[in-house]
Amino acid sequence: MIKSVKSRGFIINLILIIFLLLPLLVGAVSDDDLDLLQDEIKLKQNQITELKKQKEQYEQSLTQTRQQISTLNGQISNLDNVMAKLSLEVQTLNLEKEEVDLQVMNLNYQIEANTEDVVDYQDQISGILRLLNRTNYHSNFISIISQNDSIGTFFESLNQLNRITSNLKAKLNELLDKQNELSRQQNLLLQKKDQLEELNIKLAQNIEKMDNEKVYKSNLLYVTRGEESEFQTLINQLKAEQDAIDNEIYSLEIEARKKLYEANGEDFLSSESGFIWPVPSRKVTATFHDPDYPYRHIFEHPAIDIGSTPQRTPVRAVKSGYVAKVRDTGNSGGYNYIMLVHNEGLSTVYGHLNSMIVAEDTFVVQGEIIGYSGGMPGTAGAGNLTTGPHLHLEFRKNGIPVNPLSYLP
């Protein structure tokens, strides 16, 4: 009878201890710090939504001003709208990054709290098992069950203990599931943060583009002196120059391939299966057929412009090829370029070069330096109304411009 009482007392005390500790084990994150984080996240989301609305308004304005860029006033108005839109994109990105940082903090906080909960549950279950072992239920089972007046009490206490143990195990599994889910969400947020970093690179490109647009606007007003007639004269000159370059490149490619075919030189062109970037930068400041290209009303932008390319950056052949043309205008302010012919009907053109170090009618290998970049207004090879140092890169398929990003890695 004494053993029965002791056993019953142990179970009762154990139950009391567990129920006293259960509130401490439930680790729901609901403190003031977490509430503040949630409020900050909502604030950022509202600010992002508002900025996106403003951006949509500028997009609508750009749709109109792009149709008016054939006039000087239309060009200036379009440039102002482009720069305003880019400024909003920068603000939006910064807010999105701040929002993700807050969400990551929020999840880290919850994961830390739930990890502590899991450890607490494990400790409690281990403690229960140790206490059960100390009571030697199995060794005392015969003596306890022989006392008829204590058999019911024994099984009642044992059932209560089993229910509590099962409940703790169930809650432990729930918390483990919750922790796994939170970890999954954190991984998703980290992926989103990586995506935002990519957007940050893109917006850095747009910032450089915005700076270039400012230079272009300043040069445009200087060259035209704010006169519409001067602007139209300039546009006609640019159109004639671009048409002449296009015709020259197209004719040169045909002549070069014919020459290579006759000399069996095309065998040299099939040395690689892919292309490389010609300069270290991957920052594209103007895309192929860029909708914001200022001269789009007279010709499409037939290339990509690679920014973050300081004056006289080494320019390398994207693939082994034949040097079909080296156009060197000296210090006349004209437009310098190199044209390489490759296999499978492809050719590449490298524009705004400050200097060239290869000769026509020669072969170059992939990665070989063929010249040095330019584009700084007023420098050799930059051409008319360049916006700043960069590399103009064209890819052509059978003489027709195609998107370089479809070929570059």
How crowded is residue 356: how many other Cβ atoms within 10 Å of its Cβ? Answer: 20
| Residues 17-49: tens digit of each pLDDT | 444 444 444 444 556 777 888 888 889 889 989
Residue 1's pLDDT is: 47
Residue 23's pLDDT is: 46
Residue 309's pLDDT is: 95
Residue 226 Cα distances to 71, 72, 215, 370, angstroms: 11, 8, 15, 39
Q: How far apart are the first and last CA of the chain?
A: 84
| Residues 333-381: tens digit of each pLDDT | 889 999 999 988 899 999 999 999 999 999 999 999 999 999 998 899 9
Q: Are 379 and 354 in contact (CB under 8 A)?
A: yes
User: Can you tell me the distance from the alpha carbon of 203 to that of 216, in angstroms, rounded to the nearest whole number?
Assistant: 19
Residue 133's pLDDT is: 65
How crowded is residue 197: how many other Cβ atoms within 10 Å of its Cβ? Answer: 12
Q: Are 333 and 378 in contact (CB under 8 A)?
A: yes
User: Can you tell me the distance from the alpha carbon of 281 to that of 276, in angstroms, rounded to the nearest whole number?
Assistant: 12
Residue 19's pLDDT is: 47
pTM score of the predicted model: 0.71
Residue 143's pLDDT is: 53
Residue 386's pLDDT is: 84
User: Can you tell me the distance from the alpha carbon of 324 to that of 14, in angstroms, rounded to the nearest whole number?
Assistant: 90
228-406 CATH: 2.70.70.10
Q: Which residues of the chain have pLDDT under 50?
A: 1-6, 12, 15-28, 137-139, 148
Spell 330-340 as b/e; 16+ CB within 10 A means b. Answer: eeeeebbbbbb
Question: Which distant-in-sequence residues (6+ apart) come within 8 Å of 309 by Cβ?
Answer: 279, 281, 373, 375, 389, 390, 391
User: Can you tell me the distance from the alpha carbon of 201 to that of 221, in angstroms, rounded to the nearest whole number?
Assistant: 30
Helix/strand/coil for 192: helix
Spans of all domains in the chain: 2-221, 228-406
Q: Are 36 and 186 in contact (CB under 8 A)?
A: no
Amino acid type, 197: E
Residue 35's pLDDT is: 82
Phi, psi of 321 (to 5 degrees): -170, 180
User: Can you tell me the distance from the alpha carbon of 369 to that of 371, in angstroms, rounded to the nearest whole number?
Assistant: 6
